[in-house]
């Protein structure tokens, strides 16, 4: 073989050097694996579900988990991973997370939202860092560690990755929970996403509020702008807006007085007004219109009585005697299939609660007072079946940045979360008491 000339040798050395740099960058650690997952753009309106599923599958294979890809709506895959327990006849445990995320406006971010940039102080910036790609990877990392310690579990553990949570989950978890595959899991208890805590205690959620869209419409005789008469469409609508406004105030006063959390009252916020007769330069000013409409976003805690709210709307907010009609768009269940409020008990009567609480303590953590989530998660579909489900994302001393610009999670908080799940997974899946 001919001796290498100097330039060729130089190129070889340069290639070797760049290869070693690359391998440093691609070092395989819990943090780099988290970054890899964060770099996959799964933001709406066109979330990519193929790439994250193949990434998660390769992770699952590397730790020896069983896997299934299910599809209940076209191009809306659900990834289900399974770690069989030694007694598969016992009810199993499910750890759920969603694949999608809300969009991000890159111009408002210091670091690009899908770069998963880790700054010198350990902050990992990415859309989805808190909501909820952290838990999706932490479940896997915790199982990886438990398996490395040769831990064997009594109950079977499943992890599910579902699509479309951020747009209501109607073609995601809502269909998954109705499937035979879901029923066959024979679930005893489910953990789903929660939210960051700004203090030292972990937050835990036992219910979501149910969203209702309320549209009220009024009709009335049209008339000249100069005329005073009763029962005009605008006048009737404005009366309703006032009545609903007073109800809103009464609920908000309870919150302001510190008697309830925001998520424990019924919120009714105006979101649109539609009225007036368009003209070439705005609206016709000397005419009172014959139709008017307003929209409200209502959120009902599980303790609210939906029949009472419907009655109130019919009698006070949009009464037929004032020529008003209304439409309620229910965006999810408010009662479970047995007719009970959609909430998971957080007292000794729920053995899963006790085991979960003890696991957090064993991990050296503490749970804050259980809360109702102000918005919604897929857990509502699981609670609807009467299966206990808690919302939990182990992030303490972290600003709440879900859906916000510059969403980040600190590396130390992420790693601590893995440790917490090791306790949680092994405790729940070792529980040998009566659960149903």
List, by residue number, the catalytic residues.
100, 165
Nearer Cβ to Zn ion, position 268 or 409?
Answer: 409
Cβ proximity to Zn ion: between 165 and 264 the closer is 165
Tokens of 314: 């019919």
**Residue 141 binds Zn ion, judged by CB under 5 A:** no
Beta-carbon contacts of 123 under 8 Å, excluding residues fewer than 6 positions away, are 408, 409, 410, 411
Question: Would the annotation count 336 as a binding residue?
Answer: no
On whether the CB atoms of residues 91 and 158 are closer than 8 A, the answer is: no
Q: Contact, 220 vs 232, CB < 8 A?
A: yes
Q: Which stretch binds Zn ion (CB under 5 A): 83-91, 188-196, 257-265, 382-390?
A: 188-196
Stretch that binds Zn ion, among 17-25, 186-194, 259-267, 389-397 (CB under 5 A): 186-194
Stretch that binds Zn ion, among 36-44, 76-84, 189-197, 330-338 (CB under 5 A): 189-197
Pick 132 or 141: Cβ nearer Zn ion: 132
CA distance 143 to 423: 10
414 vs 395: CA distance, rounded Å: 7
Q: How far apart are CA 130 and CA 414, in angstroms?
A: 10
20 burial level (CB within 10 Å; 0-12, 13-18, 19+):
exposed
Q: CB-wise, 72 or 205, nearer to Zn ion?
A: 205
Strand-pairing partners, residue 125, are: 117, 408
Per rule CB under 5 A, is residue 132 in the interface with Zn ion?
yes
Q: Smallest gap, in angstroms, from Cβ of residue 94 to Zn ion?
A: 16
For residue 183 the two structure tokens come to 């029923």
Report in angstroms how near the CB of residue 179 gets to Zn ion at its nearest: 21
- Smallest gap from Cβ 98 to Zn ion, in A, equals 6
Least distance from C-beta 165 to Zn ion, angstroms?
6
164 touching Zn ion, by CB under 5 A: no
Residues 374, 302: contact at Cβ < 8 Å? no
Q: CA 403, CA 166: separation in Å to the nearest integer? A: 10
389-402 burial, b at 16+ Cβ within 10 Å, e below that, comes to: bbbbbbbbebeebb
Q: How far is the CB of 161 from Zn ion (least distance, A)?
A: 12
Least gap, CB of 169 to Zn ion (angstroms): 10
Pull the structure tokens for residue 131: 């909501």
Q: How far apart are CA 56 and CA 97, in angstroms?
A: 12
**Residue spans of beta strands (DSSP E) within 46-91:** 66-71, 77-83
Measured from the CB of residue 407, what is the shortest distance to Zn ion in angstroms? 11
Q: Total binding residues for Zn ion by CB under 5 A?
A: 3
Q: Which residue stretch of 51-59, 190-198, 267-275, 349-357 sits at the interface with Zn ion (rule: CB under 5 A)?
A: 190-198
Was 181 annotated as part of a binding site?
no
If the CB atoms of residues 171 and 293 are measured against Zn ion, the closer one turns out to be 171
Each residue of 96-125: b (16+ CB within 10 Å) or e?
bbbbbbbebeeeebebebbebbbeeeebbb
Q: Which stretch binds Zn ion (CB under 5 A): 123-131, 202-210, 360-368, 413-421?
A: 123-131
Structure tokens at 322: 């004032």
Of the residues 78, 109, 129, 131, which one makes contact with Zn ion according to CB under 5 A: 131
Specify the stretch interacting with Zn ion by CB under 5 A; choose among 37-45, 72-80, 178-186, 192-200. Answer: 192-200
- Tokens representing residue 405 in the block: 């610009």
Q: Which helix (H) or strand (E) holds 283?
A: strand 282-283
Query: Is 98 known to sit in a ligand binding site?
Result: yes
Phi, psi of 300 (to 5 degrees): -110, 120
Report whether 131 belongs to an annotated binding site.
yes
371 annotated among ligand-binding-site residues: no
DSSP state letter for 313? I
Q: In what order do the strands lie in the sheet with 408-410?
A: 117-118, 123-125, 408-410
Q: Smallest distance from the beta carbon of 48 to Zn ion, in angstroms? A: 17
Closest to Zn ion by CB, 132 or 407: 132
Write each residue from 344 to 383 as x if it is in contact with Zn ion (CB under 5 A), else as -, in one continuous string: ----------------------------------------
In terms of CB distance, is 131 or 141 closer to Zn ion? 131
Which residue lies nearer to Zn ion by CB, 170 or 252? 170
State the binding site.
98, 131, 166, 193, 403
**Can you give the binding site for Zn ion, defined by CB under 5 A?**
131-132, 193
State the binding site for Zn(2+).
98, 131, 166, 193, 403
């Amino acid at each position: 073989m001919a001796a290498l000339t100097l330039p060729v040798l130089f190129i070889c050395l340069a290639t070797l050097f760049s290869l070693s740099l690359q391998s440093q960058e691609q070092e395989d650690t819990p943090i780099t694996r988290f970054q890899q997952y964060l770099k996959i753009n799964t933001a709406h309106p066109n979330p990519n579900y193929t790439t994250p599923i193949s990434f998660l599958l390769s992770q699952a294979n590397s730790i020896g988990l069983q896997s299934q890809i299910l599809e209940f709506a076209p191009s809306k895959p659900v990834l289900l991973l399974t770690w069989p327990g030694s007694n598969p006849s016992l009810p199993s445990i499910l750890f759920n997370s969603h694949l999608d995320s809300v969009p991000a406006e890159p111009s408002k971010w210091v670091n690009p939202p899908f770069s998963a940039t880790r700054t010198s102080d350990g902050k990992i910036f990415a859309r989805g860092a808190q909501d909820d790609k952290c838990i999706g990877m932490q479940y896997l990392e915790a199982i990886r560690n438990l398996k490395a310690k040769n831990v064997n579990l009594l109950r079977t553990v499943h992890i599910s990755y579902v699509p479309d949570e951020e747009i209501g989950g109607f073609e995601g978890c809502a269909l998954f929970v109705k499937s035979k595959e879901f029923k066959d899991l024979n679930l005893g208890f489910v953990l789903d996403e929660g939210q960051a805590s700004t203090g030292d205690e972990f937050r835990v959620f036992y219910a979501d509020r149910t969203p209702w869209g309320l549209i009220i419409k009024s009709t009335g005789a049209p008339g000249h702008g100069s005329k005073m008469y009763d029962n005009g469409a605008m006048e009737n609508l404005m009366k309703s807006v006032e009545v609903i406004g007073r109800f809103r105030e009464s609920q908000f006063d309870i919150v302001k007085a510190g008697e309830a959390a925001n998520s424990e009252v019924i919120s009714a916020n105006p979101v649109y007004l539609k009225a007036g007769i368009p003209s070439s330069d705005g609206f016709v000013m000397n005419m009172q219109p014959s139709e008017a409409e307003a929209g409200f976003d209502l959120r009902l805690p599980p303790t609210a009585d939906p029949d009472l709210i419907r009655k109130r709307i019919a009698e006070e907010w949009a009464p037929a005697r004032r020529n008003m009609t209304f439409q309620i768009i229910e965006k999810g269940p408010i009662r479970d299939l047995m007719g009970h409020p959609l909430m998971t008990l957080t007292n000794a009567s729920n053995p899963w609660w006790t085991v979960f609480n003890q696991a957090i303590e064993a991990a050296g953590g503490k749970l804050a007072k259980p809360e109702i989530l102000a918005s919604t998660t897929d857990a509502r579909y699981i609670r609807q079946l009467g299966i206990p489900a808690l919302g939990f994302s182990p992030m303490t001393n972290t600003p709440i940045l879900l859906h916000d610009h510059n969403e980040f999670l600190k590396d130390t908080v992420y790693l601590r979360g893995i440790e917490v799940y090791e306790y949680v997974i092994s405790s729940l899946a070792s529980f040998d008491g009566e659960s149903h």
